[in-house]
Amino acid sequence: MKQSDTTSRLHYGFVIVACCCLMMGINVGLTFSCAGIYYQPVSASLGVPVGEFGIYMSVMYVSSTLMLSVAGGMLERWSARLLFTLNSAIMGVTFVAMAFFNHVWEFYIAGGVLGVTLAFLLYLSFPTLVNRWFHSKVGIMIGICSAASGIGGMIFNPIAGWIITNHGWRWGYGSFGLIILLAVTPVLALLLRDRPQQMGLLPYGADCRAGGVADSKVSPDATPGVRYGKALRMPAFYITLLFAFMMMGTSTLNLFIPNYVTEHGFSLEQASLTAAFVMAGVTVGKVALGYINDRNCLAGVSATTLCGIGGLLAIIFCGGELAVIMGGAFLFGWAYAGVTVQSAMLTRTVFGPKDYARIYSNISIALAAGGALASGGWGLLADATSFSFIFSVGAVVLGVCALAGAATLMGNAKGLFKNKS
C-alpha cells in the first residue's frame, strides 16, 4: 500500500460514498421521503381512514427497532456487500408486491419487511461504510450521504404525484420497486466492497508510515470521550435519548403534510410539490446544520427546533395560501434534518468519540422507537381531531426538544451531568 493510494488518486472510498448515496437517495428516499404522497389515494382506494393505513409505517419502525438489535452483529460477521445488496433486492420486490395489494393488513406485512431492510439500508449503511473507508472527512461524507435522502425526496415526490394522478397508486409502487431493482441493486452488487483492505488500500486519510502501513500504535485509551458503561450512568444519556425520540416522532408529521394540502382544496400534484419543498429543507438543513454544529452544537439545536416550530406555525396559519404552506414545509424540513444530523452531533458533543458507535446505537433505537409510535399515532390523532391540531402538538414537542438539548449541553459544560463514580 502506498501513500498515493489514499491521497493522490481518486480513492475507492468515494465510490463507496456514491453507493451509499444511491441507497439513501433511492431506497430510503422512496420508502420514507415519498411515503406521505400515497396516504390519501391508497386509504381512499382501500376504504379505510388515513390513520389506519398509516399504521404500516409504525410496523416498519417497530420492525427496524427489533432488527437493529442483531443487524450490527450480522455486519461484523457477514459481508456488508451481500447484506446491503440482498436487502435492496427484498425492498424492490416488496414495492412491486404492494402494487397488487387489496387489503390494509397486507401493507402491515409489507411494513414489517421494509423495516427489516431499513435497519441495514438506512440506520447502518453509510455510518458503517464511511467509518470503514475514511479516517478523515468522515463528517463531510456522512453529511453528504445523509442529505441524499432529501434529494431523493425532492426528485421522486413530484414524479410519484404525476404517476398517481395519471396512472394510479399501483403504478407508483410498481415503478418504485423496479427503480430499486434495476438502478440500485445491481450497482451495489458490482461496486460495493466491505473494507479498503480487500483492495489493497488504506482508509482515506489514514496515517501512513514507511511501506504504506497505517499507524496502529495509538492506544484506544488516548481517544477522548466517555466510555459506554459510564455514559449509561449519566443523566445526559437519557436526556439525549429523549431528544432523539421526540425529534424522530415530530419528523413523521412530514407524512401528513400532503394530506393537509389536499384537504385545503389543492391537487395531488401540488401536494407532491409541497412534499418536495420539505425534502429541499431537509437537504439544505443537513448541510447547514453540519456547518453550524462544527462551530456550536447549541446553535445547531436552536436552529433545527426553531425552524421546525416556525414551519409548523406557518402551515397551520397559512390562510389557504399554498406559497405559505410550501415555505413552512421548507422550514419544517430543518427539523426533519435534525433527526440524523443533530441527534448524532449532540451525542458526539456530549460523550465524545471514544465509544461513540456503541452509545449512538442506543440513540438509533430511540429514533426508531419514536418513529414507530408517532407515525401511526399522529394519524389516529388526526382522524379524531384535525391535521392542524397534530401540527400544533408537534410544535410544542419541538419546544421541549429545544429545552432538552440546551439542558444537556449546558449541564455537560458545567459538569452537572457527569457521572462522579
What would the pLDDT profile of 30-67 be if each residue is shown by its tens digit? 887 788 788 888 999 999 888 788 888 888 988 988 88
Cα 416 to Cα 421: distance, rounded to the nearest angstrom = 13
Q: Are 79 and 157 in contact (CB under 8 A)?
A: no
Cα separation values, 23 from 175, 285, 372, Å: 17, 20, 21
Residue 209 banded pLDDT, cuts 50, 70, 90: very low
Amino acid residing at 361:
S
Q: What is the largest CA-CA distance in the chain?
A: 69
In sequence order, what are the residues at sequence separation of 6 or more whose Cβ sits closer than 8 angstroms to the Cβ of residue 111? 55, 56, 57, 58, 59, 60, 63
Contact 362, 241 (CB under 8 A): yes
- Per-residue confidence (pLDDT) for residue 221, from 0 to 100: 52
Calculate the alpha carbon distances from 182 to 88, 189, 193, 323 in Å. 10, 11, 19, 36
pLDDT band at 314 (very low <50, low <70, confident <90, very high): very high
293, 345 contact by CB (below 8 A): yes
The pLDDT of 142-153, averaged and rounded, is: 81
> Which three-class secondary structure string do you get for 357-377?
HHHHHHHHHHHHHHHHHHHHH
Nine cell digits for residue 135 = 479516517
Residue 404 phi/psi, 5-degree rounding, is -65, -45
- Asked if residue 302 lies in contact with residue 403, where contact means CB atoms within 8 angstroms, the answer is no
The pLDDT of 170-175, averaged and rounded, is 94
Average pLDDT over residues 255-278: 85
The pLDDT value given to residue 105 = 93
Q: Give the confidence band of 181 by pLDDT, cuts at 50, 70, 90.
A: very high
Nearest residue to 409 (alpha-carbon basis) of 305, 279, 284: 305
- 418 pLDDT tier (thresholds 50, 70, 90): low
Look at residue 216 in the predicted model and tell me its pLDDT: 41
333/390 Cα distance (integer angstroms)? 17
Give me the pLDDT at residue 224, please: 63
pLDDT for 398 beyond 70 = yes
> What's the rounded mean pLDDT across residues 407-411?
85
Nearest alpha carbon to residue 37 among 122, 155, 145: 155
Mean pLDDT of 225-235: 82
Predicted confidence at residue 415, as pLDDT, reads: 56
The rounded distance, in Å, linking the Cα atoms of 329 and 121 is 26
Q: How far apart are CA 363 and CA 342, in angstroms?
A: 12
Answer for the pair 36, 254: CB distance below 8 angstroms, yes or no.
yes
Report the pLDDT value the prediction gives residue 132, as an integer from 0 to 100: 77
Q: Give residue for cell 431493482.
A: 181
Q: Express each pLDDT in 13-33 by its tens digit.
A: 999 999 999 999 999 988 877
> Do residues 140 and 126 make contact, with C-beta atoms less than 8 angstroms apart?
no
Amino acid at the residue 375: S
Is residue 421 classed as helix, strand or coil in its secondary structure? coil
Three cell numbers written together for 307: 425552524
Instruction: Give the 3-state secondary structure of residue 316.
Output: helix
Q: 2: alpha, beta or left, given left = phi > 0 and alpha = psi -120 to 50?
A: beta
Return the pLDDT at 146. Answer: 82
Q: Alpha-carbon distance 278 to 374, whole Å?
A: 18
Q: Which pLDDT value is given to residue 247?
A: 93
- pLDDT of 4 reads 42
- Residues 55-84, mean pLDDT to the nearest whole number: 84
Residues 245, 98: Cα–Cα separation, whole Å: 29
Please give the torsion angle defined by the CA atoms of residues 74, 80, 82 and 86, in that order, rounded to the nearest 10 degrees: 80
Low-confidence winner among 89-98, 149-158, 252-261, 349-358 (lowest mean pLDDT)? 349-358
Please say if the pLDDT value at position 220 is more than 50.
no
Residue 364 has pLDDT above 90, yes or no: no
For residues 273 and 141, what is the distance between their CA atoms, to the nearest angstrom? 28
Q: Which of 4, 37, 31 is nearest to 114 (CA)?
A: 31
**pLDDT tier at 353 (50, 70, 90 boundaries)?**
low
User: Could you give all domains of the chain from N- to C-terminal order, each with its CATH number?
Assistant: 12-202 (1.20.1250.20), 223-415 (1.20.1250.20)
Higher pLDDT, 137 or 70: 70
Give me the percent of the chain exceeding a pLDDT of 90: 34
Cα distance between the two ends of the chain: 45
Q: Say how far apart CA 197 and CA 112 lie, in whole Å.
A: 35
Please calculate the CA angle 360-140-292 and round it to the nearest 5 degrees. Answer: 80
* pLDDT average, residue stretch 285-296: 82
Residue 14: what pLDDT? 93
Mean pLDDT of the chain: 83
